[in-house]
Amino acid sequence: MSIQWFPGHMNAARKEAAKTMEVIDVVVEVLDARIPNASCNPLIEELRLTRQRPSLKVLNKADLADPAVTQAWLDLYNRQPGVSAVALSCHHAGDAAKLPQLCQPLAPHRNSSAKPLRMLIMGVPNVGKSTLMNQLLKRRVARVGDEPAVTKVQQRHKLNDHMAITDSPGLLWGTIKDPHVGLLLATVNAIGHKVVDDEAVAEFLAVILLARYPARLTARYGFAVEGLTSTGVIDAIGKKRGCLLTRSGGGIDRDKAARILLSDYRNGTLGRTSLETPAG
C-alpha cells in the first residue's frame, strides 16, 4: 500500500525550504519519538546535506514514547557527524526553551548581532512543530491542531539580538512507497485521514502492540490477548465498547472500534509505547 498525499502547499513549501536552506545555519528537524526513522523525511535530509548544514534532531512527544527505546535512538543519532539529538515534549515550555542553546554548538561561529544564529525548524506534518514554536516564543504564533498540514507558510521569528528561527510547513515526500513507513505515519496521524483506511491502520497498530506491549491492551480494554490476531483485537474492542451495527443485526462496527484504538494510542491512553526501534 503506497500512500500518495502531497497537498499543493507542500510542493511550494519544498521549494521555499530549499531557498531558505541557503541562508540558515542549523536545521531543527522535529521527529515523532514513537517513530523517529519513519518520521525522518528523506527530502529534508537531502536538502541539509546538499547545503552541508548541521542538524538538531528533536524527538518530540517523548512523553508518549517508550523511554528505553527513545534513549537507543538518541545514542544512535548522537554518534552521527554533524548531528545532535534531544528528546522532549512540546507541551513543556522548559523543554522548548532548550532548543536555541542546543543549536548553538552546531554553529559556534554564529553568536552575535552581526552574525546571528539562524535556525530552520522542519518536519513531517503533525509532529508538534507549531506547539513547539508557540512554547519557544511564549506566545501563539502558529496554528495548532491534531490534524496534519495546519501550518502552510514559512514564518520567521527573532528570538533575541543574536538568534532567529524560521518555522516551515510540515513536509512529506510525494509518494511513500514503503507500506510499513506509510502505516507508521498514518498511525501517529501524520497523513490526512482521507487517504488511509482506519481499520487497516488500527490492525497494523494491533500487530505491534500484541508483539511488544500486550499487557497494555489488557489493562485498557479488559480482555485477554492470548491467541488473538490483530483482527481479533479490533473485534474484542468493539465488543467491550458496544460498537454495534444496528442495521446488520448487531454486528461489530469495526470502523468505530478501530478509531477507538487509534485515538487511545495517539493521545497516550495506552501508555508510553514506541512503534519502531533502531534494531528494526
> What is the model's pLDDT at position 148?
45
> What is the model's pLDDT at position 15?
77
3-state secondary structure at position 153: coil
Q: Which residue spans of the chain are classified as CATH 1.10.1580.10?
A: 197-266
**Can you read off the three cell numbers belonging to residue 213?**
506491549
**pLDDT tens track of the chain, all 280 residues?**
555 555 555 566 677 888 888 899 999 999 999 999 999 988 888 889 999 999 999 999 999 999 999 999 999 999 999 999 999 998 887 888 899 999 999 999 999 999 999 999 999 888 988 888 888 888 776 554 454 444 556 788 889 999 999 988 777 766 787 889 999 999 999 887 677 899 999 999 999 999 999 999 999 999 999 999 999 999 999 999 999 887 656 689 999 999 999 999 999 999 999 999 998 7
Q: Please, are residues 37 and 276 in contact by the beta-carbon 8 Å criterion?
A: yes
> What is the model's pLDDT at position 116?
94
**Can you read off the three cell numbers belonging to residue 91?**
507541551
Instruction: Give the number of other CB atoms < 10 A from CB of residue 221.
Output: 19
> What is the model's pLDDT at position 7?
52
Residue 23, classified by CB atoms within 10 Å of its CB into exposed (0-12), middle (13-18) or buried (19+), is: exposed
CATH class of the domain defined by 3-173: alpha beta
Q: Which residue spans of the chain are classified as CATH 3.40.50.300?
A: 3-173
CATH of domain 197-266: 1.10.1580.10
